[in-house]
Amino acid sequence: MHSTFALTTDIIKHTHTMPQKLFITTLLCSLFCYISGMAAPTERDIVISHDGVSLPGTLTLPDNVKEHVPVVVMVQGSGPADRDETIGPNKPFAELAQRLANMGIATIRYDKRTKVYGARTAEVSGGRIDYDTEVTDDAVQALKQAAALPEADTTRIFVLGHSLGATLAPRIATKAQSPVAGIICLAALARPFWDTVRDQIRYIATTQGLAAAEAEKLAEAQAQQLKATLPAEYLKMQDEYDALATARQASKQLRMLFVQGGHDYQVTKEDFDLWRTALEQSHPKAEFHYFDTLDHLMRPLPHMAVPANYYEPGIMSHDVTTLIGNFIKG
């Protein structure tokens, strides 16, 4: 399964390895934790298992848990992502899990079905590949297992989605078999998928010096090439799924947090504004936070992102993680 990120990196090949910068970043993070006296969170291997599918994952708990704590199920973007949502040297979900644990919040993250099974995904999914078999069904099972944890506060189970995971968070919450207190949507796409794909290709092409007319032709050609690689049922659900309508139909009691960065070229302020327009009147428990300088991974960046930036080590904004933690603890 190809992601829009995979598509854009196919268009422009960048291979950046920065071992020295990565070492320095890791060293600084370790030093910060040592100086601040943060206790190391507890991590346990888990398996998200249902309907013949088994996905290895990680449960991260606050150190020395003595009471029931909120639990967040983390849902990645499109493509065969691992549990840490690894992109280049960056592991945003692992980083976020550690920070939330230090705020007294547990998390579950797991390797996606498309990561674990690869070309066998359709075979283990009843011959069907769509948003539900790629993302939703496994997240629903993870929520069920989260609620069964002895450490869990079952009144505070949340879904945190990034990119496609954020777009599908309203659907996941609606289909959940156990109560969901809220959804946290980081860089949630609201526009039609293929409009976004074309916009991304067009933007990348222009950053490489292509004229507007040439960029437009490339965008259409690349979009059609990508479409040709996807199963018919996947394309059908892409066309039919209305994220905004699904969110509007959700319970008024469902808390929602939408976070968007202004230097994200994949999901943009246009998407953020669509979410806010659709929900701020009908859902009083929905919150919307826009950060001018953050990229798609919620990292500060002094300019609009380009694909090469994903291969540079960075740290998720502490303002965002604090916002998420405070929202959960509510």
Active site residues: 163, 264, 296
CA distance 229 to 45: 34
Helix (H, G, I), strand (E, B) or coil at 50: strand
CA distance 165 to 173: 12
Sign of the CA dihedral with 155 first, then 134, 84, and 265 last: negative
> Long-range contacts of range 113-116, CB-CB < 8 Å, 24 or more positions apart?
113/53, 113/55, 113/138, 114/1, 114/79, 114/80, 114/81, 115/80, 115/81, 115/82, 116/54, 116/55, 116/56
Give the position of tokens 């699904």. 246
* List of residues 6+ apart from 19 with CB closer than 8 A: none
Q: How many CB atoms lie within 10 A of CB 240?
A: 9
Closest to 204 (Cα-Cα) out of 321, 65, 306: 306
